[in-house]
Structure 1
């Protein structure tokens, strides 16, 4: 962040709070107030508890931002919430205030000193530099993967280029693949997981990686349910419209449920939740979905069955790598 942006944030916060303090010392007819995002908060004897609490929350977050920006420190969003649990009650409240102030100041959340709680992991043929600390991280040296932090990083292009990037939905599968020697068999690969729906840091990391290695294939492996499909779609939406096809869905595809390694019915699960059924219907009706993806999701509607990736492990821990993934990668089978 430039010094000019930093000074602008500090000056704006100081001016906003100074106005409130000045008004507190005026005549009773002049009431202290604070306007953020066109919503005015006034402090007087008639104010109700809810407005008083909202006002206090904003002042507290503003003071925290001022300290972080002034000292050039960082705090994750979870820390902010836990610093005043009784004031915020729910993390979504403190998160929303930070986002509103960021919009009001026309800056990014990270420029206010806030980072998301780290969630995603990366392993394999990737090195990057933390621009704040200067530390260089080599993801090949870490047996359980490297946490992807929401910070200023620069991915370093290595002499041995990445052969492909595989994104897996779940941390359990990520760890299974590492333990079962996936990166030994595919030594130039990069393995990423967002542990469910990917956070900002994971998607930003993937985007930077894809820009550096712009001809490297990117694959995704998810559970065979509507939530897995939506996660794949979220990753695809990380790229702009001209690069949506960078991400290729390996599966597990719904149409594979009845034939995958002589799968028996005990390994699949019934779709009984009405919310899940509605999500399937809405996905099929969307006009921005590729025809083949829509056809696959229609299978859920027709057969009312789903499956988790872990079911493939039932016939041996190596089956996912040796049979399923190898067949997809070498046979060029993806959507």
Structure 2
């Protein structure tokens, strides 16, 4: 990450941090806008409710967030759902409202005191310190798992003693790389998985880790199919609801695009179906996607990481990252 980009990101993050009193003022203004919309029966571009039920859902989320801020406590999404199960019916309905609300008030979800159970894992060449506690994740890695990522990882002071941060799409690949026990790979790599599409906590942690260690490159390794591409896009550029979260990682590098360095052999490739072609078109229409990524995505074929024929995957990935590390040092 270059210095200018680092300073720009740090400035955005500092400006985004709000005191509880500031958030309450934002809530008051937002509630005034909602009341004005109801009285005038005129929806704004940001505030659109299809029904009274949708408005009710929205106000419940605002109430729960305000309750957490006033009490300085955190509500989980699951907790909010079970307290209002008859109203929301499905967890997905609540999740969407939380995204919309956070986007509309332009406040990061953690600052709204609404959190979720994380599914991400991290291991490898990383030490985490908090007061007199020290966790060496390489020791946890030798036990076969690593550490569960939570939404409070920023309470730890991270020290990377390796050379790279590697995000892998799948949990199965994460454990495969651990079980190969390639010492040079593990001793030089902070290995992270979001188990598919990344949760809020995983993205937040990767961004935090990268900002605290700006000289360490961040790589992504996933399936060569539209869903794998979309997950990469979510890490790098987010979606329509996440721009205010400031946890995107636009400097992430796509490790798959350097496969030619090690000449991977692929066991089988399949054609994309119509839904996958539509998803691919949506991804490539994103103006943020680099042109070299688009050219790789242009193939109408797909394969999974498990279809790569290689004796030692961690050794091959290490070879690619070593090549890129040497290339960066020459620049």
Partner SS for 1:251: helix
Range that drifts further, 175-184 or 56-65: 56-65
TM-score (norm 1): 0.69
Q: Deviations over 1:94-128 (max 9, x none)?
A: 23444455466664322232113312211122234
Aligned counterparts of 1:275 and 1:251: Cα–Cα separation in 2: 23
Residues 1:148 and 2:152 aligned together: no
Aligned counterparts of 2:291 and 2:22: Cα–Cα separation in 1: 48
Q: Is the 8 A contact 1:126 1:156 kept in 2?
A: no
What is the RMSD of the two structures over their aligned residues, measured on CA atoms? 4.1
Q: Is the 8 A contact 1:123 1:139 kept in 2?
A: yes
Aligned counterparts of 1:215 and 1:230: Cα–Cα separation in 2: 26
Corresponding position of 1:248: 253
Q: Is the 8 A contact 1:254 1:297 kept in 2?
A: no
Aligned counterparts of 1:201 and 1:175: Cα–Cα separation in 2: 20
Partner SS for 2:227: helix
What's the offset of the Cα at 1:63? 4.4
Partner SS for 1:332: helix
Q: Is the 8 A contact 1:139 1:146 kept in 2?
A: yes
Aligned counterparts of 1:162 and 1:211: Cα–Cα separation in 2: 15
Corresponding position of 2:38: 40
Partner SS for 1:40: helix
Aligned counterparts of 1:320 and 1:140: Cα–Cα separation in 2: 19
Q: Structure 1 residues 295, 139: closer, same or farther in 2, change over 3 A? A: same
Aligned counterparts of 1:229 and 1:164: Cα–Cα separation in 2: 21
Q: Structure 1 residues 104, 272: closer, same or farther in 2, change over 3 A? A: closer
Aligned counterparts of 1:78 and 1:295: Cα–Cα separation in 2: 40
What's the offset of the Cα at 1:172? 0.7
Aligned counterparts of 1:128 and 1:212: Cα–Cα separation in 2: 12
Aligned counterparts of 2:281 and 2:58: Cα–Cα separation in 1: 41
Aligned counterparts of 2:25 and 2:228: Cα–Cα separation in 1: 45
Q: Is the 8 A contact 2:185 2:318 kept in 1?
A: no
Q: Is the 8 A contact 1:224 1:253 kept in 2?
A: no
Q: Structure 1 residues 285, 9: closer, same or farther in 2, change over 3 A? A: closer
Aligned counterparts of 1:291 and 1:15: Cα–Cα separation in 2: 42
Q: Which has the higher contact order (CA 8 A, sep 6+)?
A: 2
Corresponding position of 2:264: 260
From 308, 314, 330, the counterpart of 1:321: 314
From 14, 20, 37, the counterpart of 1:6: 20
